Structure 1
């Protein structure tokens, strides 16, 4: 059997939108009995080349990561600029924003999903790779994030 649209069915990450990353990351640390993860800002638009709904956006977010075996929990506290993170927080409140998959062939995967009525919402770069959020809510009831790492 082929591997569907993405070439994988392994979920790498669950992304959760939060209002207060310090408070929520401490809650997760207490829950798991681990050290509180440090948060950091995403890169500025000149480095990240962030695009939201086809337009450049200065959007940034505080991120904290918790490694839970095969799955990573990503906490995201968005700034005030237009982004999928800010839109989700404003419209839905805190909660699960996306599930992420590590893929190869970002442009091709975006094209496949868009051909199946799952449009690109936001994309950007990070040190060592790139990401794309695809609007899969109608079909999957959650957003999908594609992650492509450089070697």
Structure 2
């Protein structure tokens, strides 16, 4: 039942100004950056605020061993916006790649983890954000590409 948090795929950092932050990382030699590929239709999608989710802007950078994601949540209410307002810029979640999204979500729920948001596409890909902030210090996400 355990083992769903074994293959780190990405670290997501919330920021106030996406362009400014990308520029800074690039000045340090970190890049290239690309837009997060929000593509495909979800057959299941449960998020606290769909409009806020749709409005979030992301930039990603593939490093040798992990992907960095920068997220600017925007002005609409969302868990990410509240985090940024309350805690400031910083790591919001760690994303772990899994072989089976459904099984990993079920395993997380069996561990007693609450779900913040989840989505599934017809091909079985998707994500699930677990509410692990209080005990893990950050949100833990499972995803299948």
User: What TM bracket, shorter-length normalisation?
Assistant: 0.7 to 0.9
Partner of 1:16: 13
1:80 shift after superposition: 2.7
Give the structure-2-normalised TM-score.
Answer: 0.80
Conservation of the 8 A alpha-carbon contact between 2:14 and 2:92:
yes
CA distance in 1, matches of 2:102, 2:30: 40
Q: Tell me how many residue pairs correspond in the alignment.
A: 141
Selected match of 2:137 from 113, 136, 141: 141
Partner Cα separation in structure 2 for residue 5 and residue 40 of structure 1: 26
Residue pair 1:13, 1:100 contacting (<8 A) in 2 also: yes
- SS of 1:117 mapped into structure 2: coil
After TM superposition, the score normalised by the length of structure 1 is 0.77
Shift of 1:33: 5.3
Unaligned runs of 5+ in 2: none
User: Is 1:100 matched with 2:91?
Assistant: no
> Larger relative CO (CA 8 A, sep 6+): 1 or 2?
2
Which of 35, 44, 67 is the equivalent residue of 1:72?
67
Question: Taking structure 1 as reference, are residues 4 and 107 closer, same or farther at Cα in structure 2, changes over 3 Å only?
Answer: same
For residues 120 and 75 of structure 2, the distance between their equivalents in structure 1, rounded to whole angstroms, comes to 19
Q: Which runs of 5+ in 1 are unaligned?
A: none
Instruction: Trace 1:115-126 onto structure 2 (pairs within 5 A).
Output: 115-124=110-119
Give the 3 Å change call, closer, same or farther, for CA 148–91 of structure 1 in structure 2. same
| Preserved CA contact (<8 Å) 2:113 2:131 | yes
What do residues 40-79 of structure 1 show as CA deviations (whole Å, max 9, x unaligned)? 5846xx94564224xx622221111111111110001113
C-alpha RMSD over aligned residues = 2.8
